[in-house]
């Protein structure tokens, strides 16, 4: 029986766009036609399947609460978001906290501080603190993902706020989770990291506080953030575990903690898509797959 060239073309196209099958595309399109949208089902879809680029920003805005569940009000809310963005920008310009040439990442930080009543007097402005640096790292990465500055600000703002609110108490425990799962996957590597003193100095801030912003390239980071935005910070642990496993041979050859930290903070960029794919498989293996009906 001959193969259908048109069907093969469609399958290849959907796979390239992030779908492993036509049925996934249909499922997501059906979900996005609901009014009101079922945010829980959208979240489950994002955890079970990769989001394609054509829908990602829109789904993120829904999951982060930037757009409401009622799709018939999206255009109105989007206009309000734009107006609020412009009002904050004009206010910061008038107060001379920023100027027209200020980089967008700094502008977004000042807007976030203004919204959260954390903006110091202009004469008392200091160098960015630790939390500010986390924000700026996420902002820089998001700037590579979202072209529109209004969308970009709201995605950063809501991503950071949701992450801190949902997972703030969990983040300090993620290094222990990493140790636990690494012991199950490769106890020899874990023993080496402990014996060399490297386990204590792994780049946990880069991995867990910045969600791999500045560590993974955009194509890989998108798939990790899909899972974080849909409600799982545990995916961060499995990406970290898979990075360790992928560079096991090199790490076993390092005895100085500072060498391990430096290497893992600047991992090669060409193999990261495969690392994330394996990390997602590992996440499903240990945590299961959400089974909410779609």
d(CA 175, CA 235): 13
Do 256 and 196 contact (CB within 8 A), yes or no? Answer: yes
d(CA 228, CA 63): 10
SS3 content of the chain, % helix, strand, coil (to 5): 70, 0, 30
In the structure, how many helices (H) and strands (E) does the chain have?
A: 16, 0
Give the pLDDT confidence of 35-60 residue by residue, as tens digits: 999 999 999 999 888 887 889 999 99
Structural domains in the chain, CATH included, are 74-166 (1.10.8.680), 171-287 (1.10.472.80)
Q: What's the sign of the alpha-carbon dihedral 97, 99, 103, 105?
A: positive
Give the pLDDT confidence of 173-224 residue by residue, as tens digits: 999 999 999 999 999 999 999 999 999 999 999 999 999 999 999 999 999 9
Mean pLDDT of the 251-276 span: 96
pTM of the model: 0.88
**Gyration radius of the chain over CA positions:** 21
The mean predicted confidence, pLDDT, of the chain is 89
Give the pLDDT confidence of 91-139 residue by residue, as tens digits: 999 999 999 999 999 999 999 999 998 887 776 667 788 999 999 999 9
């Amino acid at each position: 029986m001959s193969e259908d060239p048109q069907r093969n073309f469609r399958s290849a196209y959907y796979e390239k766009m992030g779908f492993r099958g036509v049925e996934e595309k249909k499922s997501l399109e059906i979900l996005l036609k609901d009014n009101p949208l079922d945010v829980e089902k959208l979240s489950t879809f994002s955890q079970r399947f990769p989001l394609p680029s054509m829908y990602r920003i829109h789904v993120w805005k829904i999951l982060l609460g930037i757009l409401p569940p009622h799709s018939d009000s999206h255009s109105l809310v989007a206009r309000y978001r734009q107006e609020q963005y412009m009002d904050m920008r004009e206010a910061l310009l008038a107060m001379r906290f920023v100027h027209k040439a200020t980089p967008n990442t700094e502008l977004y930080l000042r807007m976030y501080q203004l919204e959260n009543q954390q903006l110091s007097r202009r004469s008392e402005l200091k160098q960015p603190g630790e939390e500010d640096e986390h924000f700026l790292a996420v902002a820089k990465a998001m700037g590579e993902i979202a072209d529109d500055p209004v969308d970009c600000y709201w995605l950063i703002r809501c991503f950071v706020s949701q992450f801190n609110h949902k997972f703030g108490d969990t983040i300090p425990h993620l290094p222990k989770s990493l140790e636990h799962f690494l012991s199950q996957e490769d106890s020899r590597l874990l023993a080496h990291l402990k014996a060399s003193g490297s386990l204590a100095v792994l780049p946990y801030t880069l991995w867990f506080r910045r969600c791999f912003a500045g560590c993974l390239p955009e194509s890989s980071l998108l798939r990790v953030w899909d899972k974080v935005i849909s409600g799982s910070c545990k995916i961060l642990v499995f990406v970290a575990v898979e990075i360790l496993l992928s560079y096991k041979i090199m790490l076993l050859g390092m005895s100085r903690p500072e060498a391990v930290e430096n290497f893992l903070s600047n991992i090669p960029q060409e193999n990261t898509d495969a690392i994330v794919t394996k990390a997602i498989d590992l996440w499903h293996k240990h945590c299961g797959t959400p089974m909410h009906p779609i």
